[in-house]
Amino acid sequence: MIGFLLISIYLYIMPTKTKKLYNKLFQEEDETNKEFAKLLSKNTKTLPKIGELIEGKVISSSNSEVLVDVNGLTVGVVRGYELQDESGETKDIKPGDIISATVIDLDNEKNQVELSFRATGHKKAWGKLSEYAKDKTVVDAVVTEANKGGLMVKVGGVRGFLPVSQLSSEHYPRVEGGSKTKILERLQELIGKTLKVEILDAVEEEEKLIVSEKETVKEEQEKIVSKYKVGDIVKGKISGVVSFGAFVEFDDGLEGLIHISEIAWKRIDDPNEYLKVGDIVTAKIIDINDSKISLSMKQLDKDPWKNVEEKYKVGQKVKGKILKTNPFGAFVELDKEIHGLAHISELSKGIVRDINEVVEIGKTYDFKIVSIDAKNHRLGLSIKALYEDEKKAKKSLDTSKEDEIEKKVEKPKKEIDKKEK
């Protein structure tokens, strides 16, 4: 304080020329200090914050940990679970490489900054997947697991799901009888293989990744499909038979489905009884939806139901063979093309608790036709109606006999009355 006071007095009494020189020196020093402070503020390095994404130079790298120089201020370490990188960018790092990592702790037991490749890679990987989905980019997916619904895959380092319905025709599991166990076995054969897929859905928040193999060939298939129209007749080979129908391959890998209801006009419960893999068939295209083609074999034949009412009449008594039973009734074959249904309530005059107690598959029974719906290919049958007809006939017969007896009794009575008169 005293020193400052003496300097002030000295400056006050010193000559003007000398005073100007001192003022200039003080001003230059002040400007120098400001420039230095400015430069210092630009180059001052501070420790990062938790959650911050930083860049650093790799000091050393091993399978268990990676040491990183953090801004020349401290050493960061990536170890254990945090070494996992879904983006794959840190797979082959070496000393001297510049890497990105996320700060997860500022001071561990060795006074190091804890870093994570996992958190950084996770965000980068999902960012890429979103771009792939938007651009419809074809990427590699490695099959890691299989279940009855589809395949678990890895795209880069991210786990995803490939549904059975999104497999290409080459890998779709066509299993005779539709056995779920056999379907799973077919899917398991794909484990370890790399498939070309497109991203259908990528939601980082839910960690939901859905991919499709079928989409990768969709454009090519649509070009081939564009050559066809509904009503065209095609010839091809049965490539697969499943519980709901059969697949037909034609025209360089193009494939269509013959639904079980389109195989024949008659009722078919198991396509395997009618078609086998390798069979050559002719079918009609009945629908085209995107690249999906629906085929029909039965529409190449005459519909027997068009003239059904010329052959069968409501009220007619017919013989029919039991083809199949279920809890609500029995399916009955009247001839090779026309099948009918007898509801469980129509199989006996009493209450039926177990359908197999009143009818047997393969046996032939007498039925009465109770309804015909040619448009919807339905024909109703009844055994109970025959009992009711018998009962009515018997009652009618009994009534006729009573009337006859009454007439016989009435006639002598009238003759006696006449004689008395």
Q: pLDDT at position 212, please?
A: 95
Confidence of residue 400 (pLDDT cuts 50, 70, 90): low
**pLDDT for 388:** 87
- Burial of residue 2, with CB atoms counted within 10 A of its CB: 0-12 exposed, 13-18 middle, 19 or more buried: exposed
Averaged pLDDT, 160-168: 93
Q: How far apart are the C-alpha atoms of 238 and 256, rounded to whole Å?
A: 10
In the prediction, which pLDDT does 193 show?
Answer: 95
Reported as a pLDDT band with limits 50, 70 and 90, residue 352 is confident
Confidence of residue 269 (pLDDT cuts 50, 70, 90): confident
Taking residues 258-285, report their average pLDDT. 90
> Which is nearest to 128 in space by CA: 139, 119, 144?
139
Q: Count Cβ atoms within 10 A of the Cβ of residue 19 and give its class: 0-12 exposed, 13-18 middle, 19 or more buried.
A: middle
Positive or negative: CA dihedral 146, 151, 154, 160: negative
At 54, list the tokens. 């930083």
What is the spatial distance between Cα 332 and Cα 352, in angstroms, rounded to a whole number?
A: 18
Residues near 311 by Cβ (< 8 Å), separated by ≥ 6?
A: 338
Q: What is the pLDDT of residue 176?
A: 67
- pLDDT exceeds 50 at position 220: yes
**Structure-token match 């419960």, residue found:** 269
> What does the alpha-carbon distance between residue 215 and residue 166 come to, in Å, rounded to a whole number?
8
Given pLDDT bands bounded at 50, 70 and 90, which one contains residue 279?
very high
pLDDT of residue 8: 55
List CB contacts of 351: < 8 A, sequence separation 6 or more.
none
Asked if residue 13 has pLDDT above 80, the reply is no
Q: What is the mean pLDDT of residues 77-104?
A: 85
In this structure, the number of other CB atoms found within 10 A of the CB of residue 89 comes to 17
* Range of weakest confidence among 12-21, 112-121, 237-246: 12-21
For residue 398, pLDDT over 60 is answered with no
Q: Is the dihedral of CA 34, 36, 39, 45 positive or negative?
A: negative
Nearest to 297, CA basis, from 325, 263, 261 = 263
Query: Tens of pLDDT along 47-87?
Result: 788 888 888 999 999 988 999 998 888 899 999 888 887 66
Binned at pLDDT 50, 70 and 90, residue 43 comes out as very low
**419 pLDDT more than 80:** no
160: nearest Cα among 139, 180, 181, 174: 139
Residue of 389, 352, 337 lying closest to 367 (CA atoms): 389
Domains and CATH numbers, the chain: 53-122 (2.40.50.140), 136-218 (2.40.50.140), 227-300 (2.40.50.140), 307-421 (2.40.50.140)
